[in-house]
Amino acid sequence: GCAAMLGLACSPALGALADASLGTLSPGRRLCNLAAFSLFWTIFECAGISAVSLFTGLVNDVVPQGLLGRFYAAFRIVGLGVGIAFNTWVFALTDHYLSEILLAIGLVFGVALLLVCLMVREPPCMDLDNAPRPAGWRALAVPRAHVLACFAHRPFLWAVAAFMLASVTFSPFNTFYQYYAHLSGIPKSTLGTLTAYGYAVSILSAFGIGWLVDHYGALRVSSLIMGAYGAAAALGYLSLGDPSCFPWFYLAHVVVSGAWFTAAASLPMALFPKARFVQYNSSKDLMVVLGNIVVSGVQGPVLDLSGHDYRLTLLSGAVFALLSLMCLARLRAD
């Protein structure tokens, strides 16, 4: 992941080098730059998804069940503090110093994960299977049997559906909110300030949400927050014909979606068996990624056909939030 982010920082230079090396066969410097950026961004996304999945498994192993809500609240506070600093002082500089900022992010990403590996002691894992492990390249293949074993349990299907729908609830607006803000006449500096305010509210509420999760359960609290976001997205879709309403909805989006991420962080631990947590959680992550790929592939053409009506990102958020809430309700019933 660190190496991929460093590659992102160097993608303009690498694109220029590829353009010069290909000569008359080059599709153009701009496309070479885009190809280099896309390649390293894909690698970084894969590394990031793998790192988050493994980190979640580590948390499941070392953090007591009754403290998961408050642990993730503290974890969220640290992350939001970094986000506030970034959006207040760094975000507006990305137009002129993007390569330097990506370089710094890559170094921080790599060093932080290295420190986690060196400083955290994981308990020894239980060997649940006596079957021989695959060797060589077969060990790197997707463990299809493990994924299918997870899908044999009906509650897992509802859990995966809930996580998939929750992920695509937020992703369309998160992908296009900068374009929406630009269309509404809001400069980057103001958008960064609004984000910082939203993060500040999330910090103040994080421990309260964590306490609620530890005392009332991640499933119940997450369901309430998802319902609140669905209502906010529906209201935003109906009211954002007026550009002056955008800052208020954007602030609500940051706060309520942040509350979901805080509350739902420990939701996999509440739904999946502890002994095989990484197997179930990684299978869930795989399906969430596939869902995001499908929605990402559709949302761009839909917005183009609509004449860049970015309110559709809010309509999709409201619909997906309702569907996710229905899946969470089914899990509560089971």
Q: What percent of the chain has pLDDT over 90?
A: 10
Tokens of 289: 């990624």
What are 39-58's pLDDT values in tens digits? 998 888 888 888 888 888 88
What are 176-191's pLDDT values in tens digits? 888 878 877 888 778 8
- Which ranges in the chain belong to alpha helices (H)? 2-9, 11-22, 29-62, 68-85, 94-119, 144-151, 154-183, 188-216, 218-239, 246-264, 267-271, 277-305, 311-333
d(CA 142, CA 287) in angstroms, rounded, equals 13
Distances (CA, A) of 186 to 176, 179, 247, 257, 312: 14, 10, 8, 21, 19
Q: Which domains does the chain have, with CATH numbers?
A: 65-97+145-333 (1.20.1250.20)
Average pLDDT over residues 126-146: 57
Average pLDDT over residues 283-291: 84
Judge contact between 212 and 263, C-beta under 8 A.
Answer: yes
Burial 104-137 (b: 16+ CB within 10 A, else e): ebbeebbeebeeeeeeeeeeeeeeeeeeeeeeee
d(CA 190, CA 250) in angstroms, rounded, equals 12
Return the residue matching tokens 């409201």: 318
What are 74-126's pLDDT values in tens digits? 888 888 788 778 877 887 787 788 888 888 888 887 888 788 778 877 776 65
pTM of full prediction above 0.75: no
What are 197-228's pLDDT values in tens digits? 888 888 888 889 989 998 898 899 999 999 99
Average pLDDT, the chain: 82
Secondary structure (3-state) at 125 = coil
DSSP tag of 123: P
